[in-house]
Structures are given as C-alpha cells and as structure tokens.
Amino acid sequence: MTLKKSLLVGCGSYLPQRIVTNDELAKKVDTSDEWISKRTGIRQRHVAANGEMTSDLAVAAARAALENAGMEIADIDLIVVATTTPDDTFPSTATKVQAKLAMDHGAAFDIQAVCAGFIYALATADNFIKAGQARAALVIGAETFSRILDWEDRSTCVLFGDGAGAVVLRAARDDEDVDDFGVLSTHLHSDGRHRDILYVDGGPSSTKTVGHVRMAGQEVFRHAVSKLSGVIDEALAANGLESTAIDWLIPHQANARIIKSMAQKMKLPDEKVVSTIARHANTSAASVPLALSEAMADGRVKKGDLVLFEAIGGGLVWGAGLVRIGAP
C-alpha cells in the first residue's frame, strides 16, 4: 500500500474577547506583574466569557482554518479535537464541533493529552490520512482552562489562559510532487509515573467533581527541559537533519525560560522562535496551533518553511512534529 502524504494547508485561531492582565490578577491573589513576568514571561491571558464553551472556541478556529485553506466543511471527513476541558463528560467536544459546523459525514473524536494534545492529534490525523481512512482533517486544540483553575492558588492560576487553534490537513493528490512538504514525522511519548507533579484533583470516577489544576512547578520544569530536548533530537535524527535546517521552532507556550532553553539547545536565534506566551499564557492543547496561526497570519511562517513543534503536558506526555508548511 502506498502511504498518502499529509499536507498542512490551512491554519486558524480564536481568542476570547476578555483579557486578564497580571495587574488584575494581583488584586485577587498575592502576586504581582513583576513576579509573574519574571518567572514565566506571561503578561496577560484571555478568559472565556460565561456561557462560552470549548466547542465554541474550537468552531471559530476551525472556520478560520477552513477559510485560510480555501476549503469547505464538505471537504473534511475527520475532526480531531485535543482538549482537557471538554464541554461535557460525553459526548465528545469533537462531535459538538461537527454538529455546529453542519458536518453530517465522516468521524469526529477527542484526544486527551493535555498540553501535548495538539501534537498527539496531529499525529493521529496524519496516520488516518496515511492509511487512507481520511482525505482531509480538521485538527483542533481548544481549551477553557480557566474553568479548572483554583483562582486562589497563585502558583497555577497565573499560568493559564483560554483559546483555540486549528489546522487543516489534506492528503496529497496523485498529481502533486510533494517532495518534502507536509508532515515529515511525529514522535510521541508518555511516562505515567510522573502523574503527581501535574494533575487535576478531580474526575467523574474519583471525586465526582471537575477538580482544579495542581502542579509541582520545579519538577515540571526539570522534566520539560530534559524530555523536550530528547524528543527534538529524535525528530531531527529521524529526518537526517541538523537543527540549522529548521526555519521555525513553534514550542508549547508554557514558560519563557523553557522556550529559551530549547532555542539555545538548537542554536536558533530568537527571531526563529515563535513565542506568544506574553499575551496568551499557557493555553494547553491550543498553544502550538495558536502560535502557528499568529505567525502565519503576520507573514513570518510562509509556504515551504520547515517548522518544528514540541510540547509536554501532564501525564507526563510529550512529543514533537516536523512539518513543511503548505503544498507545492
């Protein structure tokens, strides 16, 4: 069987209207703009309005991605939504997105890999296309993380925000010379032994509640630096590339120091790293596609650019993906 190549041909995003600055948070918890920005690089975050759900954010991002790709919902036969904050325990948020987009064919499902969710979803959709089980897919990372924060816990509530990002993948046509365009490789890992350093203290089967985010910040930082470094090396080696071949690093937007550490390891200058953390904070599964969407919209990331995605989240789960943007 000849495997089909997945091409990334569109990208879109959505951010809720409300912006919460560090100074506003400092009126509610014992913190300050200086304390937050110095340790994380975050200056503000977007927060979903009352009644604005994860599916609403996802639909807005999906529509923007379809428009960017010049495609219609009728062209899509797979929707994969990466989210840790679904509208409901069930049905999946992806099926709600499917209904809101008036798509009555194909398949839709969620993936839960927290902050690495978009890369897990990208890998899943890519493999569906390679196997011939989908022709085109919407891959969405969407979160209303503000709904699972303890707003009295300054160690976590200052870190996260809400938002959504989406990409369109489609199978390369037989008459296209795709060369090295599209999804070149994805690399996924997990290690459940580290559950207790980043988790939510609730769930339907355990506490029968939603729960709040809990985190051991220093431990998460230590694992992030080592594990992301390793998976970046893995992605480059799998494609026989040196880091100098990468046009853009688009990392998970969790902490400015982690982002800087990865860039230094790859010997990439700051101008080759897409960073949105100051304005978006950590939007979990949405952070990578949000950053990609912004960089494509402002013209930094162009057709033919080789982009490296990487992310790590609770689980622990982590991964990386190499994608050459666009189609020949």
Question: Of these residues, 22, 68, 255, 282, which one is catalytic?
Answer: 282
Q: Which residue has the tokens 């493999």?
A: 127
Catalytic residue among 187, 252, 255, 280: 252
CA-wise closest residue to 246 among 226, 225, 272: 272
CA atoms within 13 A on the CB side of 30: 1
Catalytic residue among 115, 187, 194, 255: 115
Pick from 172, 204, 250: nearest CA to 88: 204
The C-alpha atoms of residue 220 and residue 213 are separated, in whole angstroms, by 13
Tell me whether residue 11 is one of the annotated catalytic residues.
Answer: no
Q: Could you give the CA distance from residue 59 to residue 33 in angstroms, rounded to a whole number?
A: 32
Q: What long-range pairs does 111-114 form, CB within 8 A, spacing at least 24?
A: 111/80, 111/81, 111/82, 111/83, 112/82, 112/83, 112/84, 113/82, 113/190, 113/285, 113/313, 113/315, 113/317, 113/319, 114/84, 114/198, 114/284, 114/285, 114/313, 114/314, 114/315, 114/317
Point out the residues that are catalytic.
115, 252, 282
